[in-house]
Amino acid sequence: MTTTAIPGLDQAPTAPRALVAWVREVAELTTPQQVVWCDGSDEEWRRLTTELAAAGTLVRLAAKPNSFWAASDPGDVARVEDRTFICSRREEDAGPTNNWMDPAAMKSTMTELYRGCMRGRTMYVIPFCMGPLDAESPKLGVEITDSAYVVLSMRVMTRMGTGALEKFIGRDGGEREFVKALHSVGAPLEPGRADVPWPCNPTKYISHFPEERAIWSFGSGYGGNSLLGKKCYSLRIASAMARDEGWLAEHMLILKLTSPHGTVHYIAAAFPSACGKTNLAMLQPTVSGWTAETLGDDIAWMRFGDDGRLRAVNPEFGFFGVAPGTGYHTNPVAMRTIEQGNTIFTNVALTDDGDVWWEGMTEQPPAHLTDWRRRDWTPGGGEPAAHPNSRFCTPIEQCPVVAPEWNDPEGVPISAILFGGRRATTIPLVTESRDWAHGVFMGATLSSETTAAATGEVGVVRRDPMAMLPFMGYHAGDYLGHWLTTGARAEPAKLPKIFHVNWFRRGEDRRFLWPGFRENSRVLAWIIGRVEGTANAAETPVGLVPAATDLDLTGLSTDPADVEAALAVDAAEWRAELPLIEEWFATIGEKLPGTLREQLAGLRERLAGS
């Protein structure tokens, strides 16, 4: 087939020349049956959902309006960190925490994989914008994909289609820069062969070219591997942009808190995947007199405003949340968001009456389900009905507690930054840093047990700096240096205070010492008390920690001894932590900022004296 014969290729709407040329180049390489420029319209959504329902990729839910169930290939259920590459020109720029391959070598390998890979399929062109469309300089991208599931998910997760494409020409008439994001499931359709519900390829590559601001993804249809505006652009590529341009691209939720006195504070919090960001972002406080509203549940882009304060914008347009554990008793806001419909569920279980179910949604499972592997499922069989990393993909504007300013391109001023992980021992419920450098040390040494959000073993403690281990687009040492430099540029009094939290500390019988979820509002109230200078804390070797009596625990049924244990600083446990931190710092190597070495020495000294 000659390329000009590919239907749709030349039907580009008014698009910049650089984009049209790239689309042609990709079509010539991947040889799709047709090219479709996505406009993001309701009509497009209806057409694609109807097509995917007919193909068996989606099941339309009878019980929720305009909502769909998808079940992936059992081998394509999570991010693939071991197949994720940072292809900077120099290996040392990717650093010790990323897989690296020479960009030319990666491109030649992947070009061969891409050759003819869209045969028999439609190639979709998705113009999108991360962050508000009316930003001073909108952050644009185009994803080319052969997956209609990706198109639908991108419509929920990003501002895409005609509205985004209009931004490709700047106010001065020039063509704006955009990130080129190429995706294929890697499953060409042979003529006459039926398609499968979830095409993918056992060979997977999730590659990033930070200097060119490009992403090449092959073989997976799953979330973080295929919705390239999310982790690939908004964290890996954006972190490299942020380093060059003096801002921060972080794995953080953004939450608005209003105190009983009516003061408003915004906080940002970084927790590793499946460690509680979406839940905290939607938290409804139990502590009396407080309200909370959400601005984002996964990613924050932060830069200094004219007022000298660090201001955060959520680049996303929807939530891609973990389903298991989400129920009316844990996260009623998420439940009310998805009840409104317009949601794609992936790898949850399907009920006989056309609804969804997952572990933790209700106490009792239904008597019969179709599980995420499309098999009959009844309770007591020992296997979960939903995959532990099953997800809901739902529009942020449906959230009943979305803050009115969520779409403001100026962002919101951040009063406190929280770093948190999943640690059964050692890490207190909450610790305040002494200053920015100490807070960066807390973030740099953050650790957490691994979860089902990525393939690999679950429950292993690893260092996860700022919850960005799988998402830093460059050298970890330079990344930590960038955090220190960012703080040094600001007036200390205007910087957010930095805290370390741990909702997951356990007692000897493995029970959680702290009830978590909505009760985390009691910790947030204390944090705001520290920001406002009204709450008490005690100096400890690891930072400033409240006593149980410094927290508002009114109405909390948890055993006070458990709260004490959750807050305890155990010097022996901390001493055991030191060699782990040293090992991690050694991994970072020469580029580790000296300030962080000094912080470690200070911690060691304080622990020795305690």
Ligand X SMILES: Nc1nc2c(ncn2[C@@H]2O[C@H](COP(=O)(O)OP(=O)(O)OP(=O)(O)O)[C@@H](O)[C@H]2O)c(=O)[nH]1
Candidates 160-168, 223-231, 410-418, 440-448: pick the segment binding ligand OAA (CB under 6 A): 223-231
Give the span between the Cα atoms of 436 and 6, in whole angstroms: 56
**Contact flags string 493-522 toward ligand X, x per CB under 6 A:** ----------xx-------x---xx--x--
Task: Check binding of 79 to ligand OAA (CB under 6 A).
Answer: yes
CB of residue 114 vs Mn ion: minimum separation in angstroms? 30
User: Nearest residue to ligand OAA, using CB?
Assistant: 224
Pick from 579, 538, 547: which is nearest to 565 by CA?
547
Instruction: Please list every residue from 301 through 340 that binds ligand X, using CB under 6 A.
Output: 321-322, 324-325, 330
Backbone angles phi, psi at 311, to 5 degrees: -115, 140
Residue 162 host element (H or E): helix 162-165
Task: Check binding of 470 to ligand X (CB under 6 A).
Answer: no
DSSP letter at 196?
Answer: P
Q: Which two tokens stand for residue 315?
A: 């680049």
Q: Which does 512 bind (CB under 5 to 8 A by kind): ligand OAA, ligand X, Mn ion, none?
A: ligand X
**Residue 252: beta bridge partners?**
270
Closer to Mn ion at the Cβ: 8 or 272?
Answer: 272
Closer to ligand OAA at the Cβ: 93 or 449?
Answer: 449
Give the span between the Cα atoms of 375 and 59, in whole angstroms: 15
| 275: annotated active-site residue | yes
User: Do the bridges between strand 344-346 and strand 68-70 make them parallel or antiparallel, or are there none, so unpaired?
Assistant: parallel
Closer to ligand OAA at the Cβ: 57 or 451?
Answer: 451
Task: Check binding of 453 to ligand X (CB under 6 A).
Answer: yes
Contact between 455 and 82 under an 8 Å Cβ cutoff? The reply is yes
User: Do the bridges between strand 461-463 and strand 391-395 make them parallel or antiparallel, or are there none, so unpaired?
Assistant: unpaired
CB of residue 320 vs ligand OAA: minimum separation in angstroms? 5
Q: Give Cβ neighbours of residue 602 (< 8 Å, ≥ 6 apart).
A: none
Task: Check binding of 273 to ligand OAA (CB under 6 A).
Answer: yes
CB of residue 227 vs ligand OAA: minimum separation in angstroms? 8
CB of residue 177 vs ligand X: minimum separation in angstroms? 28
Helix (H, G, I), strand (E, B) or coil at 602: helix
**Contact flags string 263-292 toward ligand X, x per CB under 6 A:** --------x-xxxxxxx-------------
Task: Check binding of 315 to ligand OAA (CB under 6 A).
Answer: no
CB of residue 565 vs ligand OAA: minimum separation in angstroms? 30
Size of the site for ligand X (CB under 6 A): 22
Amino acid at site 149: Y
Pick from 174, 136, 438: which is nearest to 303 by CA?
136
Helix (H, G, I), strand (E, B) or coil at 511: coil
> Could you say which of 200, 275, 393, 399 is catalytic?
275
Task: Check binding of 453 to ligand OAA (CB under 6 A).
Answer: yes
Give the span between the Cα atoms of 181 and 581, in whole angstroms: 36
Give the span between the Cα atoms of 446 and 441, in whole angstroms: 8
Instruction: Please list every residue from 321 through 340 that binds Mn ion, using CB under 5 A.
Output: 321
Binding residues for substrate: 79, 222-224, 273, 389-391
Give the span between the Cα atoms of 413 and 399, in whole angstroms: 21
CB of residue 467 vs ligand OAA: minimum separation in angstroms? 9
CB of residue 271 vs ligand X: minimum separation in angstroms? 5
Closer to ligand OAA at the Cβ: 15 or 126?
Answer: 126
Give the span between the Cα atoms of 421 and 419, in whole angstroms: 7
User: Do the bridges between strand 248-250 and strand 205-209 make them parallel or antiparallel, or are there none, so unpaired?
Assistant: unpaired
Q: What is the dihedral of CA 45, 51, 54, 57, to 10 degrees?
A: -70
Q: Which does 231 bind (CB under 5 to 8 A by kind): Mn ion, ligand OAA, ligand X, none?
A: ligand OAA
Give the span between the Cα atoms of 128 and 61, in whole angstroms: 27
Task: Check binding of 100 to ligand X (CB under 6 A).
Answer: no
Closer to Mn ion at the Cβ: 278 or 351?
Answer: 278
Among residues 73, 76, 250, 298, which is the contact residue for ligand X, using CB under 6 A?
Answer: 298
Residue 527 host element (H or E): helix 520-532
Helix (H, G, I), strand (E, B) or coil at 512: strand
User: Do the bridges between strand 291-296 and strand 264-270 make them parallel or antiparallel, or are there none, so unpaired?
Assistant: unpaired
Binding residues for Mn(2+): 231, 251, 298
Q: What is the dihedral of CA 576, 577, 579, 581, to 10 degrees?
A: 180
Q: Which does 324 bind (CB under 5 to 8 A by kind): ligand X, Mn ion, ligand OAA, none?
A: ligand X
Give the span between the Cα atoms of 19 and 178, in whole angstroms: 9
Give the span between the Cα atoms of 133 and 279, in whole angstroms: 27
Binding residues: 79, 222-224, 231, 251, 273-279, 298, 389-391, 422, 517-520
Q: Which does 223 bind (CB under 5 to 8 A by kind): ligand OAA, Mn ion, ligand X, none?
A: ligand OAA
Among residues 218, 233, 271, 320, which is the contact residue for ligand OAA, using CB under 6 A?
Answer: 320
Candidates 108-116, 144-152, 317-325, 341-349: pick the segment binding Mn ion (CB under 5 A): 317-325
Contact between 40 and 160 under an 8 Å Cβ cutoff? The reply is yes
Q: Strand runs (DSSP E) across 119-158, as ranges?
A: 122-130, 139-145
Instruction: Write b or e for each residue in 128-148: b if 16 or more Cβ atoms lie within 10 A of its Cβ, otherwise e.
Output: bbbbbeebeebbbbbbbbbbb
Helix (H, G, I), strand (E, B) or coil at 249: strand
CB of residue 517 vs ligand X: minimum separation in angstroms? 5
Give Cα separations from 61 to 66, 195, 319 (angstroms).
Answer: 7, 22, 19
CB of residue 558 vs ligand X: minimum separation in angstroms? 12
**Contact flags string 166-205 toward ligand OAA, x per CB under 6 A:** ----------------------------------------
Q: Which does 505 bind (CB under 5 to 8 A by kind): ligand X, ligand OAA, Mn ion, none?
A: none
CB of residue 349 vs Mn ion: minimum separation in angstroms? 20
Instruction: Please list every residue from 248 through 277 that binds Mn ion, using CB under 5 A.
Output: 277
Closer to Mn ion at the Cβ: 277 or 311?
Answer: 277
Query: Which residues form the interface with ligand X (CB under 6 A)?
Result: 271, 273-279, 297-298, 321-322, 324-325, 330, 453, 503-504, 512, 516-517, 520
Give me the residues that bind ligand OAA (CB under 6 A), please: 79, 223-224, 230-231, 273, 298, 320, 453
- Catalytic site positions: 275
Site residues (CB under 5 A) for Mn ion?
277-278, 321
